[in-house]
Amino acid sequence: MLLRHYHFPLALFLTILIYIHEFMRLLFFVFFIVCNLLVWAQKETISGKVLDVETGFVLPFASISFNDFSGGSVSNAEGIYVMDIPVHRLEDSLYFSYMGYETLRASIKSLLIDGNVSLHSALIDLAEIPVYSQTLNTLEIIKLVRENFPKNHPKVNQIQRIFYHSYNNTPFSEANRMEVLKTSFADLDQGLVDEVLEVIPEDIKSYRDVIVDLYSYDAQKKIISIEGISLQESTTLSIQKQIEKKLLSLTEDIEDSFEDDRLYYKLSSGIISTKLEIDESDSKDNDSLMSNNGDSTSYFLKAEYLRNDLDNFLVNTSDLNSDNLEFISKSKKYNYRKELTLFNDKWVYKISFEPKEHGIFQGVFYISTVNYAILQFDYEFAIGKITENINLFGIGHKVNYKKVQVIFEKMDTAYFVKYVNAEKKEYFSVDRNFFMKKKEKRFFIDKTLNKIKFSIDMQFESKNSWELLVIDRQNLTKETFELIDEPEKITIKKEVIYSADMWDHGSVIVPNRELINFRRINE
C-alpha cells in the first residue's frame, strides 16, 4: 500500500522522458558545434604563388588540396593563394594540381618557409595513351558523360563549409535623364528630380563575402552563417537616406495614404498600371535587415535570401539540367575537338567546343577517361552571342557576357563542386513615359487629386562576379539536420577598406587587386 504513494503518474513519467530526450539532442548539438570550433581555432597559414616553372607565368585557379584530397583551396586570378592549415595536419603535404601540368607534392612545413611553387608541364608519351581513349569519338564521350552524370555527381546529404563572394558594379551615366513633363504636386518638380539624380554616384559598387555552413538533406537546405563582410552597404544606405530625405514629403504622403481607406496612389505607363501598396510585415523586415539597431558597423541579411541565392548559383553554374550546360546536354548545337592531357597524373579528355548556329557558348571541359566524370569546365559566350534579349514597350534587357569556370573534387567515388568563378554583364534600358496619380475613392469614378507625368530615358550596364569555394564537406545525418535551427537573419560586418586581417576565420580566397585597392566612400 505504501508504494502507491510513490508511484508516478504515467503522464509525468512521459514528460520527464521527453525532457531527457530534448536535453540529449541539445547536448549533441553543442558537442557538434564545439568540435567544429576547436578544429578551426587552431591553425597555421600558408600563402604564396603558383607558377609555371619554365615561363614564370602565374597559374590562375590552380587546385590545392591535402594528401587525401580533402579540403583545400584555389589560387586566384593572379596565381596567389592563402590556405589555413589545422595544427593536426602540419605533418601532411599539399598537392598542387593544374590541367596539363604534373601534380606537385610539397610538405606543409616547407611551404610555411616559402609558399611559392612552380609546376612542370606534363610531357605526353603517346605510347602510354590507352587504346580505348583514342577510339572513342567526342559525341560518344559526351553521351557517356550524360549517362553517368547522376552516379558521378550525385546529390548527397552533406554539410558544406562555403566561402561565397559577390561583386556588383553599375555605372550611372550623366546622360541618364528623368524629365517632369507635367505635375500638380506642389513639391515634386524638375528641380527636385535633378537633386535626387545628383545624389547617385557615377559608379555604384558593392562587395559582400560570407563564410557559411550549408546543410543539405534530400531536397531540404538550411544555412548557418560563420562570418560575413560587406565593403559597400554603408554607402548604399547613405545614398538611400539622402534620397528619402529629399523625397520626404512625398514618401510621408504615400505612407499616410496606406492608413486612409479613401486614398491611394497609382503608377501607370500605357495600358499597364499598378496600385502602390505596402505589406507592413515586409516593411518591418526590410527595416530590420538593413540596420542593426542603429549599429553602423553591421547590417542584417535574411538567411533565406542568402540560402536561395547560394543554391541557385550552384545549380545554374554546374547542374546538367541548367541551360548554361547546354554544350553537354544539347550536343547537336556544338562542334567539338578532342585531345588528351594529364591531371593528377591521370589521363583525361580535353574537349574544346564552339557553337553552331543555335549554340551560345565556347570553351573547354575535362573528362575522366575511366568513369567519364566531369573534372572541370570553362565556358563563356561566343563572340556575338547574347541571351534574354528583350526590347518591348520601351523596356530593354539583355545578358551580353557570361563566363564560368567550375572545378570538381573527388570524394570517395563521387565528384563534387569545389570552386566556381563566374562573371556576367547585363544591359538594361528604359525609354518610356509614366504617370503617378494620387486618387480618392468615389462611388462611381475615383477622383484624381494630384498627378505627375514624367519620362525616363536611362541605360545601365551592370557587371557582376561571384566566387565560391567549398572549404570542407562532411556527411550529414537526418538527426543532425533536424537539430539545425536556421536563423532568420545573418549579420554582415561593414568594412571601409580591405585589410588582410579583417576575417576572423582567415581569408580563404585571396582577393584580386580591384578588391584590395577598393576603398568605400564612408558615410
Q: For residue range 127-163, list pLDDT tens digits in order.
A: 555 655 567 889 999 999 999 999 999 999 999 989 8
Amino acid (1-letter code) at residue 397: H
Owner of C-alpha cell 513633363: 181
Q: Is residue 136 in some structural domain? A: no
- Do 260 and 342 reside in the same domain of the chain? yes
- Do 14 and 87 reside in the same domain of the chain? no
Q: Confidence class of residue 498 from pLDDT cuts 50, 70 and 90?
A: low
- Do 34 and 48 reside in the same domain of the chain? no
Q: Is residue 134 in some structural domain? A: no
- Beta-carbon contacts of 497 under 8 Å, excluding residues fewer than 6 positions away, are 231, 518, 519, 520
pLDDT of residue 128: 57
Average pLDDT, the chain: 79
- Do 367 and 343 reside in the same domain of the chain? yes
Q: Is residue 100 in some structural domain? A: yes
Q: Is residue 141 in some structural domain? A: no
Q: Is residue 124 in some structural domain? A: no
Q: Per residue in 251-278, is it b (16+ CB within 10 Å) or e — as a string?
A: eebbeebeeeeebbbbeebeeeeeeeee
Q: Is residue 51 in some structural domain? A: yes
pLDDT digits (tens, 9 = 90+) for 242-253: 777 777 778 788
- pTM score: 0.74
pLDDT of residue 393: 78
pLDDT of residue 503: 54
- Do 69 and 6 reside in the same domain of the chain? no
Q: Confidence class of residue 54 from pLDDT cuts 50, 70 and 90?
A: confident
Question: What is the total count of domains within the chain?
Answer: 3
pLDDT of residue 214: 95
Q: Confidence class of residue 29 from pLDDT cuts 50, 70 and 90?
A: very low
pLDDT of residue 479: 93
- Do 416 and 325 reside in the same domain of the chain? yes
Q: Confidence class of residue 515 from pLDDT cuts 50, 70 and 90?
A: low
- Do 30 and 91 reside in the same domain of the chain? no
Q: Is residue 407 in some structural domain? A: yes
Q: Confidence class of residue 335 from pLDDT cuts 50, 70 and 90?
A: very high
- Do 318 and 448 reside in the same domain of the chain? yes
What range does the domain containing 62 cover?
Answer: 43-119
Q: Is residue 130 in some structural domain? A: no
State how far the Cα of 130 lies from the Cα of 369, in Å rounded to an integer.
Answer: 9
- Do 290 and 260 reside in the same domain of the chain? yes
- Do 382 and 238 reside in the same domain of the chain? yes
